[in-house]
Structure 1
Amino acid sequence: MSIDLTRRTLLHLVGASSLSAAATAAALAEGTASGATGPTIANRTPMRIGMVTLRVRNLDLVADYYRDVIGLTVMQRTATGARLGAGGVPLLDLTLRANAPAEARNAAGLYHTAFLMPTRKDLARWLVHAATNKVPLSGFADHLVSESVYLDDPESNGIEVYADRAPESWKWDSGTVAMATDPLDIDNLLTLANPRVADYARAPDGLRIGHMHLRVGNLEQADRFYGGVIGFDPTRKRTGAAFLSSGRYHHHLGINVWQSAGAGRRDDAATGLAWFSLEVASQEILQAQAQRLRQAGAPAATITNGIETADPWGTKVHLIKV
């Protein structure tokens, strides 16, 4: 398979005729058309994403997808659940809810889970893997701070697979980081991999969840919770969306109302995101979060090594001291 053929194959998988069209598809995956050192910085910040739990109707189908497409290792599997990860680190829990209704696209909940490759070469290798196995994609783009590919699992849970550019190349201005949705230079990316050989048998050990992107019902309310209460710092805002992080990462969390403006409380019986964890680096951070949760009147239940809370739409967040 030549590089050019791989490029055409990828465009076909996105359903696009050109790189510009593919970037437009990626922009739609991000909700708007306006505008690496791997996971090191994303996962050594004072607060970072830990793992995600999804409620699914077909456990085998979804577990096999994350194993075969993303390359996660099945760490534990029962008749009612599966835990998958990379490098011995759990990243994804799947819980069987066979008769659950599908969560509506205009409900609050998961927009996508973003899997961060350790290096750009790993992203290239994965892209060859996706093309070779004809994995349907929904878009790919250059975001200036990162390069990204978008897809959906069999139950329509959004996924981003990406690699960061070197943090020293990110452009900051008064606390705001420059990001865009430009065409991805596939040809340049594929110079890092052999397009004739699919050698991505499993995810690299350093793969982590770099960020989460959530649908919310009200942007200001979500910003008060995830910023003011949880403690993330704002890094960028645009129409209908905000991005927040810890430790000057470009974003650990995206929140948007592109489909979900005015959404009410989530249905806990439906498929989709059950909870995700935020790992915090010190007991002092956790204690400060607990105090702000009490002051805000937000849920704050004690769990092992931390606190379980929920945002205003019922998406549960586990704050874990690591």
Structure 2
Amino acid sequence: MQSDPDSHVLPSETRIGRTALRVSDLDEMVEFYREVVGLSVLTRSETTAILGVEKTPLLVLERDEAALARDRSGAGLYHTAFRVPSRSALGDALGRIRDRWQLSGAADHDVSEALYLTDPEGSGVEIYRDFPREEWPIADGGRVRIGTYPLDLEPVEAAGTGELGVPAGTDIGHVHLEVTSLETFSDFYVDTLGFDVQTTVPDASFVSAGGYHHHIGANTWHHRTGTVEGRGLSWFEVVLPEAQTLETIRDQVAGSQFTVTKTDDGISIIGPDEIEIRFSVET
């Protein structure tokens, strides 16, 4: 499907809101995201925990004791990326990971520096901080260039101050998905929803609103062939700056194969690979 790239581009203020995970051991997962990632528990019940920063919710953990481990063939979450506002906050995150968990990777991406780890139930986690936007490299055509290079961890760790939690201003900068088809991903997230492609690398695509390096990444590196199921991604949220954009998205999706339902604060769309995206309006 082809479309005019400027016909329904999302507003620049569009951002990622919350990510929700389906988990089997709620206690263990709450402890990990509090003690290692550094989030605060905002509300807690027998079946759900909401974690975030100050009063801002970022992560919803939904207990489903019957949920099986994610099938190796199924699409879903590659990682949730928590963006911290400073190198000192990234250094503090590195300290928590080294003290209480295991670091699985680290990278300089030209636009950011990032730490990678995996939660107790196998979902990927990235903790990163952006470089100043004016320093981001721009490729031909005006798109942001994202690279991957080794990250020197010594100055990152040295910048830490020993804080046990993430500071105010931390948010979810992006989500990275594992999908069954990049062509289908582009048809939906770019041509239908209105995200812009920023960078493509072998078997991966990164899209955003407002020229950000990426709000959503997608890859086929592990050759997933099935829909999302089991433990892991339940849904993720895209926050829009105005109600008119929400109505536009509803209209754009209405004529497609994808299901749109109304929620308390917006709409829910079951997109490709049965991944649920919730749209709400900034309040």
TM-score (norm 1): 0.81
The one-letter code matched in structure 1 to 2:109 is H
Which residue number in structure 2 is paired with residue 274 of structure 1?
234
Would you say the 8 A contact 1:111–1:213 is kept in 2?
yes
Which residue number in structure 2 is paired with residue 97 of structure 1?
64
Measured after TM superposition, the shift of residue 134 of structure 1 is: 4.0
Q: Does 1:283 align with 2:243?
A: yes
Identify unmatched segments of 5+ residues in structure 1.
1-43
Measured after TM superposition, the shift of residue 260 of structure 1 is: 3.2
Q: Does 1:171 align with 2:131?
A: no
Would you say the 8 A contact 1:148–1:162 is kept in 2?
yes
Q: Does 1:56 align with 2:56?
A: no
**CA–CA separation in structure 1 for the residues paired with 2:72 and 2:64:** 18
Which residue number in structure 1 is paired with residue 216 of structure 2?
253
Measured after TM superposition, the shift of residue 266 of structure 1 is: 2.7
Measured after TM superposition, the shift of residue 73 of structure 1 is: 0.6
The one-letter code matched in structure 2 to 1:128 is G
Report the CA distance shift for 1:104/1:193 in structure 2 as closer, same or farther (over 3 A): same
Deviations 1:242-262 (A, max 9, x none): 00001100000001111134x
5 Å-filtered alignment, 1:145-156, equals 145-156=111-122
Would you say the 8 A contact 1:305–1:320 is kept in 2?
yes
* Equivalent of 1:69 in 3, 28, 36: 36
* Equivalent of 2:181 in 218, 223, 231: 218
* Equivalent of 2:204 in 231, 235, 241: 241
Report the CA distance shift for 1:175/1:299 in structure 2 as closer, same or farther (over 3 A): farther
**CA–CA separation in structure 2 for the residues paired with 1:152 and 1:205:** 23
Measured after TM superposition, the shift of residue 188 of structure 1 is: 2.6
* Equivalent of 1:301 in 242, 258, 261: 261
- What RMSD, in angstroms, separates the aligned Cα atoms of the two structures? 1.4
Measured after TM superposition, the shift of residue 45 of structure 1 is: 3.8
Q: Does 1:110 align with 2:49?
A: no
The one-letter code matched in structure 1 to 2:177 is L
**CA–CA separation in structure 1 for the residues paired with 2:108 and 2:80:** 18
TM-score (norm 2): 0.92
**CA–CA separation in structure 2 for the residues paired with 1:148 and 1:216:** 22
**CA–CA separation in structure 2 for the residues paired with 1:191 and 1:264:** 43
The one-letter code matched in structure 1 to 2:269 is T
Would you say the 8 A contact 2:107–2:148 is kept in 1?
yes
Q: Secondary structure at the match of 2:273?
A: coil
The one-letter code matched in structure 2 to 1:107 is G
Would you say the 8 A contact 1:49–1:279 is kept in 2?
yes
Would you say the 8 A contact 2:42–2:57 is kept in 1?
yes
**CA–CA separation in structure 1 for the residues paired with 2:157 and 2:103:** 17
Would you say the 8 A contact 2:76–2:227 is kept in 1?
no
Deviations 1:186-221 (A, max 9, x none): 223234235xxxx22211121100000001111000
Measured after TM superposition, the shift of residue 106 of structure 1 is: 3.0
Q: How many aligned positions are there?
A: 271
Which residue number in structure 1 is paired with residue 281 of structure 2?
321
* Equivalent of 1:122 in 89, 107, 112: 89
Deviations 1:57-105 (A, max 9, x none): 1000011100100111111111111111112100111111112111123
Identity of aligned residues (%): 37
Report the CA distance shift for 1:190/1:265 in structure 2 as closer, same or farther (over 3 A): closer
**CA–CA separation in structure 1 for the residues paired with 2:217 and 2:170:** 19
**CA–CA separation in structure 2 for the residues paired with 1:88 and 1:121:** 22
Which residue number in structure 1 is paired with residue 6 of structure 2?
none
